[in-house]
Chains A and B, each alone.
Chain A
Amino acid sequence: MSFPWANHYAPKHPLMRWLDEKLPLPRLVYNAVGAGYPVPRNLNYMWNFGVLAGAALVIQIITGIVMAMHYAANAGVAFDSIEHTMRDVNAGWAMRYAHANGASMFFIVVYLHIFRGLYYGSYKAPREMVWLLGVVIFLLMMATAFMGYVLPWGQMSFWGAQVITGFFSAIPVIGEPIREWLLGGFAPDNAALNRFFSLHYLLPFVIAGVIVLHIWALHIPGSSNPTGVEVKGPQDTVPFHPYYTAKDGFGLGVFLIVFSLLMFFAPNALGHPDNYIPANPLSTPAHIVPEWYFWPFYAILRAFTFNFLWIPAKLWGVLAMFGAIALLFFLPWIDRSPVRSARYRPMYKWFFWVLVLDVFILGLCGMKPPEGIWVLLGQLAAIYYFAHFLVILPIVSAIERPLPLPMSITESVLGEEPATSGQPA
């Protein structure tokens, strides 16, 4: 599962030797994230975000477990139990703000992690499985975050649950029964709140399990790198520990500084004020807005305003919103360019940055009330989103002439003239 020159685990202490014979757990860690895992020497800071996402998950699980000790999943008292945590539990405010803002931090690093993969072609063979499992993690995260947001049982919790579960009612005939079955009622209420709490507690551990698979699948071919050129020999790699543990340690520090600034000095900046109003089924908020990490997808949902081919606009919107994520599963087979890194893909590089801008615009449109210019902008941005993946990428990968690749990672690091420079760029 690793390169032949990988360091081998050799326990020195008799106790460790004894343990290694019975349960080779230290060996597993050594090979997974220790000195036994050779990693390309040229990774840049964009390769920090996988570890940071793992750290964010650990923070969420720890703060979440403490929160659950004080939370009551009952529609009558859920809101007040959160306020009890904020006011009467020792450091409860810290746990709660860390958990709420931790979700945002988790999504920030995961989005950066995903865009890193898109830029450097990390999804391409032989790492398709790593990418597929990553998309699964992303989907699970979205489900977990959504259900977590429902738990405080504020106005946005309730109405967000109403809107999101309403997606299912877009399905003809069986949609409404499915929605009622999922909610355990005609509208979100105690039954829904309880099952959301149960699943919100379960899914993070499912995520942790899929992360194990994600890392396992990664270790088969080993990490990609900014050149996209595969590792050729021992000179191309350094052991994960101490080289990347040190670099990730620094990255973790920066991450925690940003996290602290957010949770200690602007803990409600990313939340919605309406969620400090207890849920009230009889009073609809003026604008129902999801959390920021769903805005781009919310914009895609709302961009469909026309019953094209007699299919209701709402159904188009729901299909497109799920499609926008589902298409990521097919990305390794849509982008057929043999070159991974956008560094050597002059056309793709441009379209990548347009996509980044496009997702920001979608996010903005998802935040704004759906009126006037925002509707049009959202529709154009949604068109580009689908065009990028389903039209532009296949064409670009067919017609683009990549720049010459370095012969090896070491060569690109040491800055020698590429041996292939005789070929036209």
Chain B
Amino acid sequence: MGRLAVPFVGFIVGLGFILALLCAVFFTPHDAPEETAASVFHKEPKEIHYASDGPFGRFDRQQLQRGFQVYKEVCSACHSLRLVAFRDLEEIGFSKAEVKAIAKNWATEVPTVDDKGEATTRKALPTDYIPAPYANETAARASNNNALPPDLSLIVKAREGGAPYVDSLLTGFQNPPAELLKRFPDAAPPPGLHYNPYFANLNIAMPPPLVADGQVSYSDGTKATVAQMAQDVSAFLIWTAEPKLEARHRAGIVAVVFLLIATGLAFAAYRNIWSGVKH
């Protein structure tokens, strides 16, 4: 009898769980989730390729510089980039002097104290992190219809879909389709929000930031179409989120090649040692 105690108690406990689950199966509803405007009209990001894609991917530094220019002239009016310092810009091909000039001429200054200890601001230095456009969250919300423009440093890693999502969002603004309003009369964007099918709930507080070709004038002669600017700035944000991407790819290739050779040798050693033993 004693030897059957565990299976018996287990059987009773199991029966309890199974009955509870059977009741859950039969007595709680399993309706398919109701269709919402977002579940029907939300779109997956477009397929966009970047120079940094794939195991051999490297940054296109010209593109990153163009993307930085878009950030500087458009995005930085509302979005901070708090994890990137000016000095980091040397990694995307700016010279020391250029970085110094970029920091010095940045639209927002860096908070500091003067000789008397009074709060003031000073021009940015290469060692400074890129100053945020707003002093704090309250100021940011006050200027943006109570919406908070997110920091962009990690945005590519912090959103499902990554850089193509950012690109799709930037170019995805449109008027709500007639069919949307026909099927979901309440789905019209509330005042102050903008219809964008790539945004999770379709209505985003950000107004379309890239509105016209030539909004930014690129110094390398690239034509600044909206699509081009969106791609450049999303490529730039891949770099801000993952500045060590190239080192990672390079190290990865070395590691995998080394391991393939080492594992091949290990396999040969294993076969050699076992050669006389049937197993």
Contact = CB atoms under 8 A, between A and B. Distances in A.
Q: Do A and B interact with each other, yes or no? A: yes
Interface of A: 41-43, 80, 83, 86-87, 93-94, 97, 238, 242-243, 246-247, 249-250, 252-254, 256-257, 260-261, 263-265, 267-268, 273-274, 276-277, 286, 303-306, 308-309, 311, 313, 316, 319-320, 323, 327, 330, 333-334, 336, 371-373, 375-376, 379-380, 382-383, 386-387, 389-391, 394, 413-414
Contact of B25 (A41, A379, A394): A379
B19 A308 contact: yes
B266 A394 contact: no
Contact of B21 (A254, A286, A383): A383
A243 B274 CA distance: 7
B158 A306 contact: no
B269 interface: yes
B277 A238 contact: yes
Interface in B144-199: 150, 153-154, 157-160
Contact of A264 (B11, B251, B266): B251
Interface in B23-53: 23-25, 27-28, 30-33
Contacts of B244: 86-87, 93
A394 B18 CA distance: 16
Contacts of B27: 306
Contact of B279 (A42, A309, A375): A42
Contacts of A42: 279
Nearest to A319: B17
A330 B278 contact: no
B22 to A, nearest CB: 7
B269 A277 contact: no
A268 B249 contact: no
B255 A383 contact: no
Contacts of A238: 277, 279
Contacts of B259: 253, 256-257, 260
B248 A94 contact: yes
Contacts of A43: 279
B11 A265 contact: no
A316 B20 contact: yes
B28 A249 contact: no
A333 B7 contact: yes
A390 B30 contact: no
B30 A336 contact: no
Given A250-B266, A276-B154, 4 more contacts: A93-B244, A277-B158, A306-B27, A391-B11
A378 to B, nearest CB: 9
A97 B14 contact: no
A165 B212 CA distance: 50
Contact of A265 (B150, B154, B252, B273): B252
A270 to B, nearest CB: 13
A272 to B, nearest CB: 9
Given A256-B259, A327-B10, A379-B25, A246 B266 contact: yes
30 contacts: A41-B278, A93-B247, A93-B248, A246-B273, A252-B266, A253-B263, A256-B263, A257-B260, A257-B263, A261-B252, A264-B55, A277-B150, A303-B21, A308-B20, A308-B23, A319-B17, A333-B6, A336-B3, A336-B7, A371-B32, A372-B31, A372-B32, A373-B30, A382-B17, A382-B21, A383-B25, A386-B21, A389-B10, A390-B14, A414-B278
